[in-house]
Amino acid sequence: MAEKESNFTGWLNEKILPKVGKFANTRFVRAVMGAGYSIIAFTIVGSMFLVLSVLTQVITVPAFVDFYNSTLGRFNNLFTVIYNATLGITALFFTESFAYSYTKIYQQEENLDISPLSGAFLSLFALFVTVPQLVWKNGSAQFLTDTKNAVFSGYAVSGSGLTRIGATGIFTGLIISILSVQIYRLCVKKGWSIKMPNSVPKGVADSFTSLIPGFVIAFVVLIIDAILIMCHTDIFNLLYIPFSFVSGLVDTWWGVLIIVFLIHFLWFFGIHGATIITSFTGSFALANMVSNVDGGFHVFAGDFINSFITVGGSGATLGTALYMAFMARSRQIRELGKVAVVPGIFNINEPLLFGLPIVYNINLVIPFVLAPMASAMVGYLAIATHFVPKITAQQPWPTPVGLSGFIATQSWQGALVSVLATVVAAAIWFPFIRSYDLKLAKKEAEGATEA
């Protein structure tokens, strides 16, 4: 058995891990991860103010409603302003952050004289070129005005402001940022830029360095936009096709299962699967949450994963940590459980991932993958059948079980299903962690007897 485990581990190290690691370390993936991290704070702030504005829909007791309307309710429009200033301009935050990280990576790894801040500004500039809606009419490009759909002089608006700089613009911002940064990088690398003497302050020098790349970006994006407009579409509408297709996939039950599987498949090799996978799926989940707020219906929205799936950390290990701390027979596992149980309440389980360990441990790979997939289906079915209201807010990821489901859905049903998903995951973990526990306890007993 030990030989088989050794062969399996060797195969993973030689064949799988290098490929997975190579993908995880690509510049694009690292930049997307950085952008995903940077907008978390803004989405949580916006979500919390949204929760404040809908309290009377959660707590319908007349006395509370009257009290709320005479106090916090007077500031509801101000709460909406905060929401619009965060989730309403998500594409701007994401575009700027991605472009900054992407430019910085090239600056450091290719030793180029490019400024991350200039890369971010050039990308924002390029994004805004694509925001207005134009039509080809009477042989010329004209701004679209459609009062029925709230489009005025090319700009579509809603209660959140300009619609194309909200969550729906994230995918366009990503593509435009890649194009802009690559043009900026290429221009500087080929020497197509204005170089200032060393005596000139760096901020001034950077602005002149990005001058020619700025013109090139303007012309490239303008030409692309003009061609598409003459074809009766534009970049946003063109990119909406793959964006909506992928968004629809991740919102299905099997799409959610694939996401959860990939997260834990990568984690098994010691690669932070949650960070890598959610950096891609996060934009879709965020867009779905904004759509839910506006009246749409999506199951995979906001922080669905931390609300109902990875309670206790990746692998849904909260029940496992409790077993280890209070029921384990192995001294090794029991002591580790005492260390891991408190962080586990706040969805931090690195002590288990690397201390038990779960990573590279084929004894525990089945529950590590299966338990979160089962809890995912509990949460998915609860929302899909409308037992739990759709997710309209994003809670901080360390929010404990129950409270996370409540904040995400603003309902007691969300809290209940969050707990139920944890119980289901714990039931799947139990026979495996118990068997592993007894195995280690037997070795400890044999070691003590020999001593």
Q: Write down the pLDDT at residue 32.
A: 86
- Does the pLDDT value for residue 284 go beyond 90? no
Q: What's the pLDDT tens digit per position in 347-376?
A: 988 889 988 889 888 889 999 999 999 999
- Does the pLDDT value for residue 106 go beyond 90? yes
Residue 264 and residue 233 share a domain? no
15 within some domain: no
Q: Do 282 and 36 meet the contact criterion of CB atoms below 8 Å apart?
A: yes
Residue 368 and residue 312 share a domain? yes
- Looking at 199, 220, 245, which one is the last position of a domain? 245
Residue 257 and residue 122 share a domain? no
Hey, what are 197's tokens?
């003497």
2 within some domain: no
- Does the pLDDT value for residue 320 go beyond 80? yes
**Distance (Å, whole) CA 98 – CA 177:** 7
Residue 166 and residue 234 share a domain? yes
Residue 361 and residue 256 share a domain? yes
Hey, what are 169's tokens?
């613009």
Whole-model pTM: value is: 0.80
Give residues with Cβ within 8 angstroms of 227, minimum separation 6: none
Mean pLDDT calculated for residue range 11-28: 74
Residue 322 and residue 401 share a domain? yes
> 149 pLDDT band (50/70/90 cuts)?
confident
The widest CA-to-CA distance across the chain, in whole angstroms, is: 94
216 within some domain: yes
Single-letter code of the amino acid located at 128: F
301 within some domain: yes
Hey, what are 288's tokens?
């779905």
Q: Write down the pLDDT at residue 282.
A: 82
7 within some domain: no
4 within some domain: no
Q: What's the pLDDT tens digit per position in 117-136?
A: 999 999 999 999 999 999 99
12 within some domain: no
**Distance (Å, whole) CA 255 – CA 288:** 14
Residue 414 and residue 306 share a domain? yes
Residue 335 and residue 236 share a domain? no
What's the whole-number average pLDDT of the chain? 88
Q: What's the pLDDT tens digit per position in 246-256?
A: 778 889 999 99
Q: Write down the pLDDT at residue 451.
A: 47
**Computed from CA positions of residues 136, 144, 283, 90, in that sequence, does the dihedral angle turn out positive or negative?**
positive
Q: Write down the pLDDT at residue 272.
A: 77
- Looking at 245, 274, 297, which one is the last position of a domain? 245
- Looking at 194, 218, 245, which one is the last position of a domain? 245
Mean pLDDT calculated for residue range 309-314: 92
Residue 438 and residue 313 share a domain? yes
Proportion of the chain above pLDDT 90, given as a percent: 51
Range of the structural domain that residue 148 is part of: 22-245
Q: What's the pLDDT tens digit per position in 156-209?
A: 988 777 889 987 788 899 999 999 999 999 999 988 878 777 767 776 777 788
Higher pLDDT, 286 or 8: 286
Mean pLDDT calculated for residue range 403-417: 94
Residue 268 and residue 226 share a domain? no
Residue 149 and residue 88 share a domain? yes
334 within some domain: yes
**Alpha carbon distance, N-terminus to C-terminus of the chain:** 26
Residue 154 and residue 85 share a domain? yes
Hey, what are 334's tokens?
């029991």
Number of domains in the chain: 2
Q: Write down the pLDDT at residue 60.
A: 78
Q: Write down the pLDDT at residue 12.
A: 64
Q: Write down the pLDDT at residue 11.
A: 66
Mean pLDDT calculated for residue range 75-87: 88
Q: Write down the pLDDT at residue 36.
A: 78
Give residues with Cβ within 8 angstroms of 425, minimum separation 6: 311, 312, 316, 317, 318, 319, 371, 372, 374, 375
